Amino acid sequence: MIDSFKKLGELAQGRDLADVFLESDAREHGVPAEQIIEALTKRRQVMRDCIERGKGGGTSMGKLVGNEAKLLNEAFLAGKTFLDPLTVKAELYALSVMGENSRMGVIVAAPTAGAGGVVPGMLLALEEERNVDPAKTVRALVVAGGVGSIVALSAHISGAAGGCQNEVGVATAMGAAAVAYMMDGTPQQSISAAALALKNTLGLVCDPVGGLVEVPCVKRNALFAVHGLTAAQLALAGVESVIPMDEVVEAMVRIGRALPRGLKETAEGGLATTATGCAIGDRLKDEANQRRAQRAEERERLAHERKAGVAS
Amino acid sequence: MGPVMVGPSSSHTAGTARLGRVAREILDDDPVFVRFVLHPPLAATYRGHGSDFALVGGSIGLNVDDPRIPEAIRIAEQMGVEIEFAEEDMGEVHPNTVRVEIRSRSRSVQIAGSSIGGGVIDVFNINGFSAHFKGDSPTLLLFYRDRPGMISEITGIIADEGINIASLACSRKQRGKDAFMQIDVDSPMSKEALAHICATPDVAEAKYLDRIP
Ligand code: SF4
């Protein structure tokens, strides 16, 4: 079993990182490589479809977000963006996925839904802008998934367990490793990219306004997609993380434990308890109560009708 | 990579939908009543993350990637399923923990489990017995009256089928009383083998669950 990044580095030396993960899955879980590639080919397509839908915008369930992707796309198409196209697309695609997510659309959890924009944002923007073979993107998803699963051996991947570092942070690390792989980096460079990316998200708290995966989550995914690209860039240039990836993960777990409960998805701290955050939270609660009352009424009406039906 | 799913949160929608689904699969009948008891941190956040839709969706048999999940509560009402939410502190458990009490006209099942992120679940209690069910491999759940030789009889039947047992765990309430066995197997089990197991003396009930999607 590949249970640490140290071991991964040893096993993968001079080899293709995706092959190393695929072989290990075949050996331990009896899942043949073709089957994994097939499943991930489907995942890539779900990501693509989701990005296309998401560009069109729409309103989120909590009505706090939804049109970020549309706005950025319009600016991009009008030639009004100043960043290079790769960066803009990484942001744009991450926003698209998260927009869909906030409308309860179909997405791929990577590794979670709340952090589901980071990996597709980075990978699919890179695929388009640098003409990467889609089959290679699929293999990069193997790498991303592999990195995520090693982290998951020592850390719960959820904001409730350790804050947003455990979600968006881990997604960024997965994406950075996958990007280094797509750009023909060595396995060591992928691991360095993951370490650099994760190191710089440590301490990120989970403080969703009103408890919804909308604010800050949607835009956070976009900004961290870019963060992941820059981590991969450094690693590809030969920059290494002084703290090895395994120890970065350990640090993340310790920080997660030390974070107060209010900053772990409970919506009882951080942005959620700012003046605006509280006002939104109150409004959402009122609306939920109204909906509940409506549903109760509806139920009563149905019961009434049923009774009347029986009587006649 | 995590599952293909309906947003917005893998702990709160994918995982919780699967927890609801586990209860529904064990019940193995049309539910008429489902009660979700939420651990306080989950109770604080579940509505915003759509967990209410997801829990209900799973409990009426929807998959995590079913686009009808956002409509699940309405669908359940149309199916005549009564839904209830409650809150209860369950002590030292994962923040996203829920107990699902589900009833059909003739049967009832109760499970408790946590949604631990990325759609992964850990069901740690089934009908009052401690369990370790993740829904990621075919599993046989057995409720029986404890007696010597039971385990070897059951595992014998499974071995005769040429099926490899990945893991086996038992728990019981009292010696010679009600007991529970969870057997994770490597490959799907035939109806005949299951019937054979059901017919074993002192087996009250055997439930075979495939992977929970
Ligand atoms: S802030 Fe919390 S809910 Fe939002 S993406 Fe991060 S971990 Fe998920």
Do B22 and B121 touch, CB atoms closer than 8 A?
A: yes
What is the span of the domain harbouring residue B160? 139-209
Q: How far is CA B173 from CA A7, A211, B155, B206, in A?
A: 43, 39, 21, 18
**What is the number of other CB atoms lying within 10 angstroms of the CB of residue B192?**
10
pLDDT of A43 above 70: yes
What is the span of the domain harbouring residue A255? 5-273
Relative to the CA of A112, which ligand 1 atom is closest?
8
Indicate the pLDDT class of residue A46, thresholds 50, 70 and 90.
Answer: very high
For residue B2, give the nearest of A108, A159, A214 by CB distance: A108
Do A177 and A245 touch, CB atoms closer than 8 A?
A: no
CATH of residue A133: 1.10.4100
b or e along B66-89 (b: 16 or more beta carbons within 10 Å of the residue's beta carbon)?
beebbbbbebbbeeebebebeeee
Specify if B132 maps to a domain: no
SS (H, E, C) B76-97: HHHCCCEEEEEECCCCCCCCCE
Specify if B1 maps to a domain: no
pLDDT in tens, A53-112: 999 999 998 899 999 999 999 999 999 999 999 999 999 999 999 999 999 888 898 998
One domain, residues B123 and B156: no
Token reading at A13? 């030396």
B145 or A17: which carries more pLDDT confidence?
A17
Residue of B nearest to A214 (CA): B8
Specify if A58 maps to a domain: yes
SS3 content of chain A, % helix, strand, coil (to 5): 70, 0, 30
CA atoms of B29 and A259, how far apart (whole Å): 43
Q: B 7-26 residues with CB below 8 A of A?
A: 7-14
Q: B 109-168 residues with CB below 8 A of A?
A: 116-120
One domain, residues B112 and B162: no
pLDDT in tens, A260-304: 999 998 889 999 999 999 999 999 888 878 877 887 787 788 778
Query: Three-state DSSP class for B142?
Result: strand
Chain A residues close to B47, C-beta within 8 Å: 211, 288
One domain, residues B116 and B147: no
b or e along A145-176 (b: 16 or more beta carbons within 10 Å of the residue's beta carbon)?
bbbbbbbbeebbbbbbbbbbbbbbbbbbbbbb
Specify if A305 maps to a domain: no
Relative to the CA of A205, which ligand 1 atom is closest?
1
pLDDT tens digit at each of 213 positions of chain B:
777 888 888 888 889 999 999 999 999 999 999 999 999 888 887 776 788 899 999 999 998 888 899 889 999 988 999 999 999 999 989 989 999 999 999 999 999 999 998 889 999 999 999 999 999 889 999 999 888 888 888 998 898 888 888 889 988 877 667 899 999 998 888 888 888 898 888 999 999 998 888
Query: Three-state DSSP class for A266?
Result: coil
Q: How far is the CA of A213 from the centre of ligand 1 (A)?
A: 6
Last residue of some domain: B75, B93, B127? B127
One domain, residues B176 and B112: no
**At B89, phi and psi to the nearest 5?**
-75, 120
Query: Three-state DSSP class for A213?
Result: coil
Specify if B3 maps to a domain: no
Specify if B5 maps to a domain: no
Contact A30 B186 (CB under 8 A): yes
One domain, residues B42 and B90: yes
Q: Percent of chain A beyond pLDDT 90?
A: 79
Chain B residues close to A62, C-beta within 8 Å: 48
Contact A43 B45 (CB under 8 A): no
ipTM entry = 0.70
**At A58, phi and psi to the nearest 5?**
145, 180
Specify if A285 maps to a domain: no
Structure confidence at residue B23 (pLDDT): 96
Structure confidence at residue B163 (pLDDT): 87
One domain, residues B80 and B183: no
Beta bridge partners of B141: B182, B207
CA atoms of A54 and A3, how far apart (whole Å): 36
CA atoms of B126 and B1, how far apart (whole Å): 28
Specify if A213 maps to a domain: yes
Q: How far is the CA of B28 from the centre of ligand 1 (A)?
A: 35
Structure confidence at residue A62 (pLDDT): 86
pLDDT in tens, A303-312: 787 777 766 5
CA distance A261 to chain B (A): 9
Contact A113 B45 (CB under 8 A): no
pLDDT of A227 above 80: yes
Structure confidence at residue A69 (pLDDT): 97
CA distance B174 to chain A (A): 34
Span between the terminal Cα atoms of chain A, in Å: 67
Structure confidence at residue A6 (pLDDT): 97
One domain, residues B65 and B95: yes
**Chain A CB within 8 Å of residue B69 CB:** yes
Contact A116 B7 (CB under 8 A): yes
Chain A residues close to B1, C-beta within 8 Å: 40, 43, 108-111, 141, 144-145, 148
CA atoms of A187 and A181, how far apart (whole Å): 7
Structure confidence at residue A310 (pLDDT): 64
Structure confidence at residue A224 (pLDDT): 98
Specify if B35 maps to a domain: yes
Q: What is the mean pLDDT of residues A182-208?
A: 97
CA distance A217 to chain B (A): 10
The side-by-side arrangement of strands in the sheet containing B139-145 is B165-172, B178-185, B139-145, B203-209
One domain, residues B29 and B50: yes
CATH of residue B122: 3.30.1330.90
Structure confidence at residue A193 (pLDDT): 98
pLDDT in tens, A121-179: 999 999 999 999 999 999 999 999 999 999 999 998 988 889 999 999 999 999 999 99
